[in-house]
Amino acid sequence: MRYSYKLAICGTIFFAASSCFGNPDYLPSRIAAYGPEDCKPVVEQEIDRLHIDRQKITKIDYITFYISDSESGNEYNYQGWINFNNCTGNYVVNMNKSCQILSEYPMGSCRLEDVLAKK
């Protein structure tokens, strides 16, 4: 009786594992922990931390910035590009794949002091 119980458990595990490996659609072709839009809360928090005037923001684009693309895999970061209505350019929040901020910088004619909320 005990032997047949162990055999049934092993058979169930084997069946479940073999059904996963036999179906190519079951396994993803690549593993990604996040997408660029998943970093939105981090960018929103940074906007609040810097006291950027939300009335001056026209849109925020979330993009994947590819650093390198090779046979061994892709190396990339995520970026939030904040566009404003009072300057030509953007404020960029550069993040790693886990949405941790690596750097931030203005582009074009946008300066941080031009987009801050008035106190």
Q: Mind spelling out the 3-state secondary structure of 44-95?
A: HHHHHHHCECHHHEEEEEEEEEEEEEECCEEEEEEEEEEEECCCCEEEEEEE
Supply the range of the domain harboring residue 40. 32-115
61-98 pLDDT, tens digit per residue, is: 999 999 887 777 788 999 999 999 999 999 999 999 88
Residue 37 has pLDDT above 50, yes or no: yes
For residues 13-24, give the mean pLDDT: 52
Residue 76 lies in a domain: yes
Q: Tell me whether residue 26 is in a domain.
A: no
- Per-residue confidence band for 21, with pLDDT thresholds at 50, 70 and 90: low
Q: Is residue 18 part of a domain?
A: no
Does 53 fall in a domain? yes
The pair of three-digit structure tokens given for residue 98, joined into one six-digit string: 């886990």
Q: Does any domain span residue 24?
A: no
Residue 106 belongs to some domain of the structure: yes
Confidence of residue 28 (pLDDT cuts 50, 70, 90): very low
The total number of structural domains in the chain stands at 1
Domain annotation covers residue 14: no
